[in-house]
Structure formats: structure tokens, C-alpha cells
Amino acid sequence: MSDETRPPEPQQFASDNYAGICPEAWAAMEAANRGSMPAYGEDPWTKRAADEFRTLFETDSAEVFFAFNGTAANALALASLCQSYHSVICSASAHVETDECGAPEFFSNGSKLLVVASPDGKLTPALIRNVATGRSDIHFPKPRVVTITQPTETGQLYSLAEIREIAETCRDLELRLHMDGARFANACASLGCTPADMTWRAGVDLLCFGGTKNGMAAGEAILFFDSALAEDFGYRCKQAGQLASKMRFLSAPWVGVLEEGAWLRHARHANACAQRLAAAVADVAGFDLMFPVEANAVFLRAAPEHLDALRARGWRFYTFIGGGARFMFAWDSEPARIDALARDIRAVGMSAAAAA
């Protein structure tokens, strides 16, 4: 190996996408690599992965598709529910609004995102009703879909009751309900509920289930719980450049993580790591939790010089949400590294206190 490809420094927690491929996904890709097989999703791995999803979600009628990443999954899923003159209600902090470069609008030929500000980044029935009924004239894009992120971009959860209430509001207003589940596994692990209870039984029409942040190399699954909504979705994927020719390498890892529950095990580990860091720094002055820790994220608010001091100690993190330091945990997060991070946070907090 050249120096550039050597494993670099110790583990960082800037993103759950820093993690490698989990052993279960890797083994399934290895197994899928034996011999030749039909292309474009006609292979046995893709059928098996879709069947695994139907088993996991306790439904025979779900239609399952595979895309390369979450932006494509969300954008195509929303586009499939909308005409160009429709609109999509989302939170101001939703990934579809802040981190997808306009992909939902692009793939829907112009459906507008109706962005709702809320104190905790979560939508509520009242907020949805307010936007959806604010205008009903021909000059305003007609509300058609609500999208919620579970867990949210700041690591918070909608309870099952909250999802059901949102779904009820949607039914009442003739809106569809989409769930961005880039970290769906973390939500299931944290709430301890079944995937079915969190989605179609609660009234969710369409789910994007993230594989990448759960330990796969790439890949998100799109689940239509009402198969009628999936009509022609395959064409949409193909046109958008999301139909993998060697589909088995996108679908086999799902078999690997779903079959024996690795998806949930990895998510539990990541969530526990977030709790570990949060507990270890809870009493450190100058570093305050910005959001309740309910999944695999910890956000710490601190003065810019404290964040700089932490960077100087070699830690990487993003501050693009609310200015605080974001730490994300994954299937491979090492407890000893989390403890090292906690020690450095404490040391920075203490030296700042001493200087004051």
C-alpha cells in the first residue's frame, strides 16, 4: 500500500459516513461475487433482499427499490408522489431542504418544498395543518406530501404516537406521508419498536431506509407500502441514473445486514456510543448538550475558542447545524476513542475554566 491509502489516524466521529463496511455487508458482497448472475435486479440477491424487507416489515404487499444514496432515494420517492405543481411540507432542518442541492425539486420538475420552522426541528399536526390550509387558491403550489425525518437531523425521535397523529392529519388533509429514514435503524433500536409499527401501521406511505449509515458501502432502500404508488417507479430510477446494472452488489449487503439482525445490532451499538459520550461530558462546564440524545448523535454547544482547542487536539467535527460540534456514531465506533474524546472535552473545559 502507498502512504496515501494506508489507514490514517485514529478514529473520528465527524460523520457516521466515516465508518467502513460492516462484516455482514462485506460477507454478503463477497458471496454475491461468486460467479455471474443476471443484471439490473433480475438476480436472486435482489429478490431475496426485497423478500427480507417484506418479512421484516410484516407485509406481503410492499414494493422495494434500491438506490445508490439517500439524496436520490428521497428525491425520487417525493417526485413519485408529486406533480410539478404540487408541494412537499418539510421541516426547515430537513435533509431534503438543506443538504440535497435541490434534488427533490429537480426530479419532480419543480414541486416546491414548503419549509416549516419549528423549535425542535420536528413537524407537528398543527404546523402541518397551518401550512397545508394556509392557501388553497390556484396561485399556490398544492400541498401533496409531508416528509418527516426519523430520527431527525439533530438526532431526535418522533414517538409512535406522534407519527400516528401526523399520519392522521395527513389523511384528513389528503396528503401522503414520506419518511426519510437515513438512520431508520437507529430509530427502531432506540424506540424498541418494530419497523412495521413505525411505518405503515402508523400511516407512513413511503420509507427511505438508509443502508449506508448503517454499515453498507452504499445503498438505500425505498419501500412503498401501497404498491399502487410504486407504479412506474422503476422507470424513474432508471432515468435518474439509479438503476444499478450489477444490482446484486447493492442488494446483497441488505441480505447480509437484515438476515440475522445486524442492522439492529449495529444501530444499538451506535446509539449506546452516543449515550456514552453524552454521559461522560454531561458535567463539563462550557460544553452543553444542544439536543436530547435519542439516537446516534451528540451535539455540543461551546464557545468558538473551545471548539478550536478541541480541533487542536486532533478532533474533527462539523458545526453546520446550529454552530455546535456534532459527533456521530456508527457500527464500528470504538468505546476507547469515545472515552479519549470525552477526556479531551473535559480538559478543554477545565483549562477554559481555569483561564476565566
List residues near ligand PLP by CB under 6 A: 69-71, 74, 95, 149, 153, 180, 182, 212-213
Q: Which of 283, 333, 278 is nearest to 300 (CA)?
A: 278
Judged by beta carbon, residue 149 or residue 199, the one nearer ligand PLP is: 149
In whole angstroms, the minimum distance from the beta carbon of 213 to ligand PLP comes to 6
Judged by beta carbon, residue 29 or residue 207, the one nearer ligand PLP is: 207
In whole angstroms, the minimum distance from the beta carbon of 29 to ligand PLP comes to 18
The DSSP line for 197-210 is HHTTTTT--EEEEE
In whole angstroms, the minimum distance from the beta carbon of 145 to ligand PLP comes to 15
In whole angstroms, the minimum distance from the beta carbon of 82 to ligand PLP comes to 18
Judged by beta carbon, residue 153 or residue 205, the one nearer ligand PLP is: 153
Number of neighbouring beta carbons within 10 Å of residue 125: 17
In whole angstroms, the minimum distance from the beta carbon of 146 to ligand PLP comes to 15
Judged by beta carbon, residue 69 or residue 194, the one nearer ligand PLP is: 69
Distance CA 274, CA 338 (A): 9
Distance CA 274, CA 328 (A): 7
Cell of 16: 457516521
CB-based burial label for 134 (10 Å; 0-12, 13-18, 19+): exposed
In whole angstroms, the minimum distance from the beta carbon of 298 to ligand PLP comes to 15
Judged by beta carbon, residue 74 or residue 190, the one nearer ligand PLP is: 74
Judged by beta carbon, residue 169 or residue 212, the one nearer ligand PLP is: 212
CB-nearest residue to ligand PLP: 70
Computed on alpha carbons and rounded to an integer, the radius of gyration of the chain in Å comes to 21
DSSP state of 243: -
Q: How far is CA 37 from CA 3, 110, 255, in A?
A: 36, 38, 16
Judged by beta carbon, residue 111 or residue 212, the one nearer ligand PLP is: 212
CB 90 within 8 A of CB 107: no
CB 114 within 8 A of CB 88: yes
Side-chain-facing half-sphere of 233: CA atoms under 13 Å: 27
In whole angstroms, the minimum distance from the beta carbon of 312 to ligand PLP comes to 28
Q: State which amino acid sits at residue 294.
A: E
CB-based burial label for 336 (10 Å; 0-12, 13-18, 19+): exposed
In whole angstroms, the minimum distance from the beta carbon of 54 to ligand PLP comes to 23
Number of neighbouring beta carbons within 10 Å of residue 324: 22
Judged by beta carbon, residue 201 or residue 213, the one nearer ligand PLP is: 213
